Chain A
């Protein structure tokens, strides 16, 4: 994921993979997407970052032709998502936010189904199925019924399935929720490789900051509006803020600092965090308290802080465990 991208795309032209023009969507009169405009070049990775209900899934649904836009237009791989649906779908691989596996079929049967529906020849189907199963390390479960899979295994199978037919464009709606770090790393490595070798375009929504950090472009979306777009570095330098983390020597020092700097925030048991964008103020602070601190550290801007300063809200690394549990309960509840 931190692998360098080639400077110039290797394809014949630096084509635009996904183009969104003033796209709007509403549910019962409530605007969910408000004139969203985006251009995503081929072979790049693009991350959509936004709080719950921002409209990320709605945007992906429109781009994958599952929902019609209420205004504006969009095209994927040059095909209009309303007028050339079949053409558009041919270039897509999609991993949905919630499971779309058939849990009465085995892992292999799910892949076989996918291959057939995408019209793949038998030999290619077998080869690709084996390859993607190996990628997500599910070879040992190939003939097990999906119902017996854990949440993370299902997620892995779903990602494998979306890659089976070697799409030009991949949509991943919070794909790595519930995946362990090792698996996440493997999958991102593979996607990076595909991006370099085959000009795969990846559009992700995610809440893992470290994945967003590695994207070529990050787009912050809130209430259906794009509020910032750019490379992580650009966003951080433009909207992020630096913090000074200090550990006062004793309680008296801590109280003194808090009295002088009301903007200081408690950090853990003993530490304090102070906004450090204003160099002069920071210097003054350090001169004044130098002798009463045991630890001093500058914290560079993070996307977390970018998000906070743009939306006024914390991008919680939400309790993913809760969501998985909820999802599993929903599945159980509906079972006959």
Chain B
């Protein structure tokens, strides 16, 4: 019992440190606020008129949603991705500047240290995703309390998985500079091939089979786990799924479990 309370305190301490550090990191906060504004205000508003437009001369309302509504859940995922994967920097920081040793010589078991760290990073990333929710009204998305709660849970689990992924990257990268390049070459391709900015099937109705994407692109989208995370959030927020509704949550949970286990193996090896 006593050791359990002590472990909880340790977990809380590690978590709290991540939160405290994040609130002092202005740059990250500015990124978390400006990113959704740019994506929704500029890309979203700019492309909104074209989304329901004509395809090969015929006007078809292919999706009963505006482009802004369609994009909205994807921008949440984008914000979570950036913050989560950027978390690797915090891990590299601890390692390179010696703070890690302070925790490693404490009685806390390693898995608990990692869990606290990932929970902290995931909380911050979820909150950054939550910032986007404030723009819901602007994007014409009306949210009930229940929808918001379900979305936040999905966002947290997604953030947990992606933060673990960040830890895995950190174990393989030696320098901060290297990581900067690396993170952009990982985040943006994953984002663009997640059916975030365009629907998987441009036609979405049988009548428009003529308009299809090349097979390789469809393939990339289908094997990208982020696709299903975006789909899960679309299901909750705008009630639109491109895949069976259960796939999204399943993929999100699977990512959290698998990535955390790999991160733990890496962390134990150091």
Give A contacts to B, CB under 8 Å: 64-66, 86, 89-90, 92, 94, 96, 98-105, 109, 112-120, 161, 331, 334, 336
Contact = CB atoms under 8 A, between A and B. Distances in A.
A117 B98 contact: no
Given A112-B13, A334-B176, A336-B176, A117 B108 contact: yes
A120 B5 CA distance: 9
B101 A116 contact: no
B99 A116 contact: no
B105 A105 contact: no
Interface of B: 3, 5-7, 9-10, 12-14, 16-17, 20-21, 24, 89, 96-109, 176
A274 B19 CA distance: 64
A105 B21 contact: yes
A90 to B, nearest CB: 4
Contacts of B107: 86, 89-90, 118-119
Classify the secondary structure of B's interface with A.
helix
Contact of A114 (B102, B104, B109, B176): B102
28 contacts: A64-B105, A86-B107, A86-B109, A89-B105, A92-B105, A94-B101, A94-B105, A96-B98, A99-B97, A100-B98, A100-B101, A102-B17, A103-B97, A104-B24, A105-B21, A109-B20, A112-B13, A114-B102, A116-B9, A116-B10, A116-B13, A116-B14, A116-B16, A117-B13, A118-B6, A119-B6, A119-B9, A336-B89
A99 B97 CA distance: 8
A104 B106 contact: no
Contacts of A112: 13
A114 B17 CA distance: 11
B21 A117 contact: no
Nearest to A65: B105
Contacts of B5: 119
B3 to A, nearest CB: 8
A129 to B, nearest CB: 13
Given A105-B17, A117-B106, A119-B9, A331 B101 contact: no
B182 to A, nearest CB: 15
Contacts of B108: 117
Nearest to A96: B101
B97 A334 contact: yes
A10 B49 CA distance: 85
A22 B48 CA distance: 73
A117 B14 contact: yes
B13 A113 contact: yes
Contacts of B12: 116
A118 B10 CA distance: 7
Contacts of B20: 104-105, 109
A204 B14 CA distance: 29
A104 B16 CA distance: 13
A119 B105 contact: no
Contact of A119 (B10, B96, B97, B101): B10
A102 B105 contact: no
B105 A66 contact: yes
A101 B6 CA distance: 22
B98 A89 contact: no
Nearest to A87: B107
B100 to A, nearest CB: 8
A66 B104 contact: yes
Nearest to B116: A117
Contacts of A161: 102
A274 B97 CA distance: 48
CB-based closest 10 A-B pairs: A119-B6, A116-B13, A100-B98, A100-B102, A90-B107, A117-B106, A117-B10, A64-B105, A116-B9, A117-B13
A118 B3 CA distance: 11
Contacts of B96: 334
Contacts of B102: 96, 100-102, 114, 161
Contacts of A90: 107
Nearest to B270: A66
